[in-house]
Structure 1
Amino acid sequence: MNTWSHAFTAPFTAAGRAALVPPPPWHYAGWLLNVAFEHEAAGAAALVPPAAGRALGRGCVHFADWQACTDGHELLDPVLAQYRETIVVLELERPDGSRCNYCPAIWVDQDISLLRGLLQGWPKKAGSTWLTRSLPLAHPAAAPLAAGTRLGATLAVRERRLLEARATLTGAPGRPLGFLALPTLGAVGWPDLRQPGVMPEPRLLRPDIRDRIGSGWHAAEASLQLLAHPHEELDALGAVRAVEASAGWIGISVAGALDA
């Protein structure tokens, strides 16, 4: 057992204070715009490990504005706590007939979140997410949670826009969608640079999510556009069509991960 370093992740130091990510539990609270979509099911074979299951032709994009912490000290230094990200999940039927999601792509603007995701099997990369916030004010700039309010969200990766969404709140209650509705799998696999010609063999994990709390979801009508990108592979899904959307706040805690 290592008795010198108290770091959960690199850099490994005696005190562990410089470690990028401390051990779980990790607590998250955020504002999300969720857009469920249909896609060409056959195209998902290029993005989903066969062991995960069979794609059903449905998925969801989550545009998220998060605040996260461990013991709460990050809330006093918010550069450690706040970030935005875009999450793509695809709905699958597992070999046993159950249903789940798989995360083939996710982009974030903060390194702490990026590494937390990789440890869970969520393949985070750097990207720039912007989304309209709803604020608790009856004011034109506040995007209040009321019928007719319009919301927008975009994702740019390597200075090229990849996803665009537009939504209009209907005033009706909404539903949890995507990873908010079904367990979501990820794949963890690290190369061994002592054998650079050998590809890693990913294993499937799902986050151990606890203490979920929400404010209620607000239904929306939405559009979603997936743009061509020279370095990303989401275009394997073919044409995408938004079928349902919701917006709201959610809080969750991740205690660790479980074998899928």
Structure 2
Amino acid sequence: MNTLFDWNHRSFTAPFTASGRAAIVPPPPWHYAGWLLNVAFECQADTASALVPHSLGKPVGRGCVHFADWQACTDGHELADPVLAQYRETIIVLEVQRPDGNHCAYCPAIWVDQDISLIRGLLQGWPKKTGSTWLTRSLPLDHPAAAPLRAGRVLGASLAVKDRRLIEARAELTGRPGQGLGFLALPAVGAVGWPDLRQPTQLPQPHLVRPDIQHRVGGEWHEATATLQVFDHPHEELALLGPLQALTASAGWVGITVFGARDA
């Protein structure tokens, strides 16, 4: 007999307990602030289509890789215990033309180093997996180790997945204002779907959602030129994008709040 619905738990996600204190993720709103290096690229639209739900639309042959160093919280208590708040991730988004002609950003791959972020992402339709991201930080100091944001400054970033280097990027600031790229410039759409082990032979039927993002601040981006390299990997499917040609790049800070999600 299924008695789950008679359980007076207070957990938004597992583990389900009476207090809800041990839940991996509390309910929204989720507040994010981060330092990002964004590299826009050209890719092969025909093969990239295998990574995009057909009902969403067709890739146009452009995308962006975001290297991000985030801090996130709910009511703010996480900021006093930063192991709950901080994480780094690498995000791949593709620009997609929808059947109505509008464009959106779709994320076929994303890697993160924190379980809280991983579950939050899956709930929003971001297909997060575990990976190790490193990127140059810029600090508000006029000092060689602070990487101040001025012309000629070189920033680097990398992603390793399952102990294998997958992506490397190198960006050089031009000294000119930059622009938001990828999901910072287009509405982001994700695919949410979960298998049911009571019917293990049936694949999940994902549905498309768009995060309800509000209270956006920052976004004064610094322009950069960039190079981008993707390495072969025995499990990841980025090879479907073909050779990636970096177009432009930007670096800077942004803050957003996610209040939930809507059908896309």
Deviation at 1:45, TM superposition (A): 1.6
Partner Cα separation in structure 2 for residue 55 and residue 45 of structure 1: 6
- Tell me which of 185, 194, 198 is aligned to 2:198: 194
What do the CA deviations read for 1:124-163 (whole angstroms, capped 9, x no partner)?
0000000000011111111101001100000000000110
Q: For residue 78 of structure 2, give the secondary structure of its aligned residue in structure 1.
A: helix
Given that 2:152 and 2:174 are in contact with CA atoms closer than 8 Å, whether structure 1 keeps it comes out as yes
Aligned residue identity for 1:258: R
Sequence identity, in percent? Answer: 73
Q: How many residues align?
A: 260
SS in 2 for 1:118: helix
1:127 aligns with 2:131: yes
Say which of 23, 30, 43 aligns to 1:39. Answer: 43
Q: Which aligned segments of 4 or more residues in structure 1 are displaced greater than 4 angstroms?
A: none
Q: Secondary structure at the match of 2:190?
A: strand
SS at match of 1:52: coil
Cα distance in 2 for partners of 1:232, 1:85 equals: 16
Q: Specify which of 13, 19, 23 is matched with residue 17 of structure 2.
A: 13
> Aligned residue for 1:104?
108
The within-5 A match list for 1:172-183 is 172-183=176-187
Aligned match of 1:113 in 102, 112, 117?
117
Partner of 2:237: 233
What TM-score, normalized by structure 2, do the two folds share?
Answer: 0.97
1:53 is matched with 57
Aligned-pair CA distance for 1:43 = 1.2
Instruction: Give the 3-state SS of the residue equivalent to 2:209 in structure 1.
Output: strand
Pair 1:138 & 2:142 matched: yes
Mapping for residues 143-158 of structure 1, pairs under 5 Å: 143-158=147-162
- Aligned counterparts of 1:202 and 1:233: Cα–Cα separation in 2: 19
What's the secondary structure of 1:5's corresponding residue? coil
Structure 1 counterpart of 2:226? 222
1:63 aligns with 2:63: no
Shift of 1:46: 1.4
Map of 2:27 onto structure 1: 23
For 2:86, the aligned partner's letter is: Q
Q: Aligned equivalents of 2:256 and 2:18: distance in 1?
A: 31
How big is each residue's C-alpha offset from its partner over 1:66-108, in whole Å with a ceiling of 9 and x where there is no partner?
Answer: 0000000000000000000000000010001111010000000
Aligned-residue offset at 1:215: 4.8
Cα distance change on mapping 1:187 and 1:175 into 2, 3 Å: same
Deviations 1:184-239 (A, max 9, x none): 11101100101111111111111100000015000000000111100100110111
Distance 2:30 2:152 in 1: 35
> Which blocks of at least 5 consecutive residues in structure 1 are unaligned?
none
Instruction: Give the CA RMSD over aligned residues.
Output: 0.8
**C-alpha contact (below 8 Å) 2:222/2:252 kept by paired residues:** yes
1:3 shift after superposition = 6.2
